Amino acid sequence: MRLIALSLLAGVWLFSAATVQAKVTGDPLDVPAVTTRLTTSTQLSGIAQAGNRLVAVGIRGLIITSDDGGVSWEQRLSPVSSDLLAVSFPTADKGWVVGHHGVILHSSDGGVSWMKQMDGRDAATQLVAHFEKLAATGDERAGILLDEMRLNFENGPEQALLDVWFDDESTGYVVGSFGTLLSTADGGRTWRSEIEHVDYETLLHLNVVRRVGDALFVASERGVVFRRKAGGTKFEALETGYAGSFFTLIGQAHTVVAAGLRGTIFKSEDGGDNWTKIETDVLATLTGSAVAGDVFFLVSQNGRVLISTDQGSTFRSQAAKRSMTLTGVVQVNPQDLVLIGTTGVQKLTLE
């Protein structure tokens, strides 16, 4: 069996069936999420701003929204009960969510309602057919990737999509386990493989995808960050000098910050060409990030928020009010953050 349990990736996503009240019967890709009263105390893994609204996603298909800066939350109907891991809203209305079993959900009304655009069953069929066609032309690399795709999906739609990024309401990217990398140019109606454009022999877990400046970055295992420059097709591998996994990435203009295991932070000031290690007092895995104006935020597994006002050159840390593994952060006003994690959602006033 190819899939490594994705509470895997160093324990960043700690999803467990024991934490939910209701059991899902049937294929989670076909069974809607159950209604729960524990919307603010259930495991959450991704959060984004949709205009003035907050949208958070989590275990067993949970989707919740807040229209008052995180004070109160409302559960929204979800067409799946697969664990949801990440969310992206390029506009106030248009948003996308990804998660386990290769699921991609879309909302066109600010996160109020959701439809499924794709799942791992579709991906298996499309990717195998895609690489069969390429391999038939004599493309040796395509033949290798065809074998990998068959192996990835031999036990069903078990590959997780770990992150999603949309530049606008048409152009977007999803990344996931064992080299999964897809893009869309039509708002998710169709998706195409970018796997063959990743310049690396091994199919690594691709943990996060972000646009920084005019380049697209993908953070991965083995200290590798991939970069696609504007107008390019290839995702080139950038060696950072680190050998562990990066789980989050943020930046502005030419400044890029990648963070991951054991509090590791590396920064580039030239768009990814050169990297420098940044020291902090946090030694726990860094799991999520956000940029608000000129301020960079990182959150950790041991419940701390790292704050930088100099674009990632230095960070100070502040503890969350309620200790938990943090997975995401947004700034809702100059004084307050909304944090999500394994025990739900909380607000934090900055010191």
Q: Please list, residue by residue across 220-240, b when 16 or more beta carbons sit within 10 angstroms of its beta carbon and e when fewer do.
A: bbbbbbbbbeeeeeebbbbeb
285 neighbors 301 (Cβ within 8 angstroms): yes
- DSSP structure string for 141-202: HHHHHHHHHHHHTTTSS-PPEEEEEESSSS-EEEEEGGG-EEEESSTTSS-EE-GGGB--SS
Q: What's the pLDDT at 26?
A: 83
- Give CA–CA dist 274/254, Å, rounded: 11
315 neighbors 298 (Cβ within 8 angstroms): yes
**Tokens coding 202:** 């091994």
**Which burial class, exposed, middle or buried, applies to 197 when counting CB atoms under 10 A from its CB (0-12, 13-18, 19+)?**
middle
**Tokens coding 195:** 């796997």
Average pLDDT over residues 90-110: 98
Percent of the chain surpassing pLDDT 70 = 93
pTM given for the model: 0.93
12 neighbors 327 (Cβ within 8 angstroms): yes
Mean pLDDT, the chain, whole residue set: 93
- Per-residue pLDDT at 81 exceeds 50: yes
Q: Which tens digit of pLDDT belongs to each residue from 142-166?
A: 999 999 999 999 999 989 999 999 9
Cα distances (angstroms) measured from residue 285 to each of 12, 105, 246: 8, 28, 9
329 neighbors 339 (Cβ within 8 angstroms): yes
- Give CA–CA dist 110/114, Å, rounded: 9
55 neighbors 63 (Cβ within 8 angstroms): yes
Q: Which tens digit of pLDDT belongs to each residue from 163-176?
A: 999 999 999 999 99
- DSSP strands (E only) in 233-323: 236-239, 246-252, 255-260, 265-268, 276-278, 286-292, 295-300, 304-308, 316-319
- Give CA–CA dist 15/277, Å, rounded: 30
Q: What's the pLDDT at 279?
A: 96
Could you tell me which residues come within 8 angstroms of residue 303 by beta carbon, excluding any fewer than 6 positions away?
319, 320, 322, 323, 324, 325, 326, 341
Q: What's the pLDDT at 9?
A: 43
Q: Hey, what's the torsion of the CAs at 63, 186, 236, 330, to 10 degrees?
A: -30
